[in-house]
Amino acid sequence: APRLLVFRPGDRITIVAKRRARLMFLAGAAMEGPRYIWWNFVSSRKERIEEAKEDWKMGRFAGVPGETEFIPLPER
């Protein structure tokens, strides 16, 4: 099952996989202020999350190349 882990500067980690696994590492300087996450949307402003919900419903996001299926916005 997919997992998201956040490590702090100076953390020492060991990763062991019992079977084949895919890992993706994202790194960079920590961003200031809070972050809000809802479904596939992340923003530093709650209002922008609401705008993104409406934009998704109205089809204002660009499609994914090669994909034709539309995924509806979750109820909650």
Q: What is the pLDDT of residues 2-15, one digit of tens each?
A: 788 888 889 999 99
Within 8 A by CB and 6+ apart from 46, the residues are 36
Q: Is 55 part of a structural domain of the chain?
A: yes
Q: Is 56 part of a structural domain of the chain?
A: yes
Q: Is 4 part of a structural domain of the chain?
A: no
Q: Is 51 part of a structural domain of the chain?
A: yes
Q: How confident is the model at residue 29 (pLDDT cuts 50, 70, 90)?
A: confident
Average pLDDT over residues 16-35: 90
Average pLDDT over residues 34-46: 94
Three-class SS of residue 49? helix
Q: Is 23 part of a structural domain of the chain?
A: no
Q: Is 5 part of a structural domain of the chain?
A: no
Q: Is 43 part of a structural domain of the chain?
A: yes
pTM value is 0.63
Q: What is the pLDDT of residues 47-68, one digit of tens each?
A: 999 999 999 999 999 988 999 9
Q: Is 47 part of a structural domain of the chain?
A: yes
**Pair 36, 46: CB distance under 8 Å:** yes
**Pair 73, 61: CB distance under 8 Å:** no
**Pair 53, 41: CB distance under 8 Å:** yes
Instruction: Count structural domains, the chain.
Output: 1
Q: Residue 42: which domain range?
A: 34-62
